[in-house]
Amino acid sequence: MKELKTDILVIGAGSGGLSVAAGAAQMGADVILLEGHKMGGDCLNFGCVPSKALIASGKMAYGQAHSAPFGVADVVPQVDYAAAKDHVQGVIAQIEPMDSQERFEGFGVKVIREFGTFLSPTQVQAGENVITARRVVIATGSSPLVPPIPGLDSVPFYTNETIFDLKEKPDHLLIIGGGPIGMEMAQAHIRLGCKVTVIEGAKALGKDDPEAAALILETLRAEGVDIQEQAMVAQIRGSAGAVEVVTQNGDIFAGTHLLMAAGRKANVERLNLEAAGIDRTRTGIKVDDALRTTNRKVYAIGDVAGGLQFTHVAAYHAGIIIRSALFGLPSKAKTAHIPWATYTDPELAQVGLTEAQARDQHGDATEVARFDYHHNDRAISERKTKGFIKVMVVKGRPVGATIVGHQAGELINLWSLALANNLKMGQIAAMVSPYPTIGELNKRVAGAYFSPRLFENQTVKRVVRFVQRWIP
């Protein structure tokens, strides 16, 4: 065994782990980074990047078939599914160097391509190396949850870790799970010429605002996606090219390929957390507000910490660790300003409280400002008028925003900024947006919040009449 010592040991080279390693090394710390699989983690190789690339292929196909309203004749798109997957791999390859071992070694990070396992509260083994670190950061992420459904072990299926390697276009893709991953893949595949059935045991997009989710589901159904809700899976049977999903109420859905999109589970199995004195929860590793585990020298960030499972959360957590572990500064992770988006077309984005959550927490103090896409001139010009933005406001400050529509994932950035900095609606209203832009929706919804106060307020009208009468 080879013994190593370091200031910071990072286990996992996904978004969070890479950010900690790069930041710490460039600020002068001695850093070792462990990765037993692929540099870049799930996001680059199996998640955010490939899914958005495949979605982009689907959008191009859909655009060809729906261009007549713009004066361009519709055509039947000639989809080459294998070439679309080549596009996905090309996108990954273009981004890959940013997450490469060579780049991080250039920062001064010692990269060891092995999984890490705790031997004790202070030591981690990685291959032939035994590493002692002043601080350890667990950033091992998550992987697809595969429920123990009877028959699944004898039927071929895909997850987000394998679906992007599939080059043969599925005739009929069955998707178990109606969350964001399931909905994104459903729309991408229906647009690329597959039949698609989504089987969801509860409510599809059930964690999102119901009104916004309903608009997405309506759109996908109109495009041909068969979405079955309240359909608990009881059994899976069949073979390659002929798969059947049987629900508890006896319905049978037949297809050629099966994608499991039933959620995620934290990657903790290899870590031997017990040896390090680190407690687990049902969803991951137990951490406090500073992201420390029950072993005070060990932090956990990103998906493995058991909270919100988004790449940008892992990157945000990395900043918390840099301030705490490198500079000894008190730093706590917050969630109120963390946005998320589902990249269907139209998109669905959320930050802070939904309308229902705001009313539960703040009662009658909650005001909801709303503005619809069909009043936005840029949306009209591009025929993207489906959708709305609504902002939940308490005592003049936004506490949440829900956006469903074109570029919702871009628009939500402003409301994350507002929540992170405790801004008032007046400060949003003071913003000037270039005309015509989709971004103008953010200013207009702030205007919608103030409109009743200005145009329906009798005191305001009396003041205006007085000024007009007496001021020359």
Residues 104 and 115 in one domain: yes
In angstroms, the CA 359 to CA 198 distance is 31
Asked, for residue 64, whether it belongs to a domain, the answer is no
Residues 136 and 13 in one domain: yes
Asked, for residue 69, whether it belongs to a domain, the answer is no
Residues 346 and 426 in one domain: yes
Domain boundary among 305, 327, 349: 327
Residues 421 and 375 in one domain: yes
The sheet with strand 242-247 has its strands ordered as 233-239, 242-247, 252-255
Asked, for residue 242, whether it belongs to a domain, the answer is yes
**Residue 448 sits in a domain of what CATH number?**
3.30.390.30
pLDDT along the chain (472 residues), means of 10: 95 97 96 97 93 98 97 97 97 96 97 98 96 98 95 96 96 98 98 98 97 98 98 96 96 98 96 98 96 97 94 94 88 94 98 98 97 98 98 98 98 98 97 97 95 66 70 72
Asked, for residue 462, whether it belongs to a domain, the answer is no
Quote the pLDDT of residue 359: 98
Asked, for residue 44, whether it belongs to a domain, the answer is no
Asked, for residue 237, whether it belongs to a domain, the answer is yes
* Token code pair at residue 31: 């850093």
Residue at 411: amino acid letter:
L
Residues 227 and 302 in one domain: no
Provide the residue range defining the domain that includes 23. 2-39+100-144+265-327
Quote the pLDDT of residue 43: 92
For 452, left (φ over 0), alpha (ψ -120 to 50), or beta? alpha
In angstroms, the CA 104 to CA 304 distance is 22
Residues 269 and 250 in one domain: no
Q: Would you tell me how many other CB atoms lie within 10 Å of the CB of residue 411?
A: 24
The alpha-helical segments, DSSP class H, found in 293-407 are 311-321, 327, 355-362, 377-381
Residue 382 φ then ψ, to 5°: -100, 5
- Tally of domains within the chain: 3
Asked, for residue 83, whether it belongs to a domain, the answer is no
Quote the pLDDT of residue 326: 84
**Residue 290 sits in a domain of what CATH number?**
3.50.50.60
Residues 303 and 257 in one domain: no
Residues 366 and 433 in one domain: yes
| DSSP code for 374 | G
Residues 443 and 303 in one domain: no
Quote the pLDDT of residue 323: 92
The DSSP bridge pattern shows strands 339-342 and 195-199 to be unpaired
Asked, for residue 471, whether it belongs to a domain, the answer is no
Is 87 within 8 Å of 57 (Cβ atoms)?
yes
Quote the pLDDT of residue 325: 85
Residues 318 and 196 in one domain: no
Quote the pLDDT of residue 451: 75
In angstroms, the CA 426 to CA 409 distance is 23
Query: What's the pTM value of the predicted model, to 2 decimals?
Result: 0.94
Q: How far is CA 349 from CA 207, 269, 354, 380, 410, in A?
A: 12, 32, 11, 20, 9
Domain boundary among 303, 327, 351: 327
Quote the pLDDT of residue 456: 64
Residues 402 and 345 in one domain: yes
Domain boundary among 262, 283, 309: 262
Quote the pLDDT of residue 454: 59
Residues 437 and 360 in one domain: yes
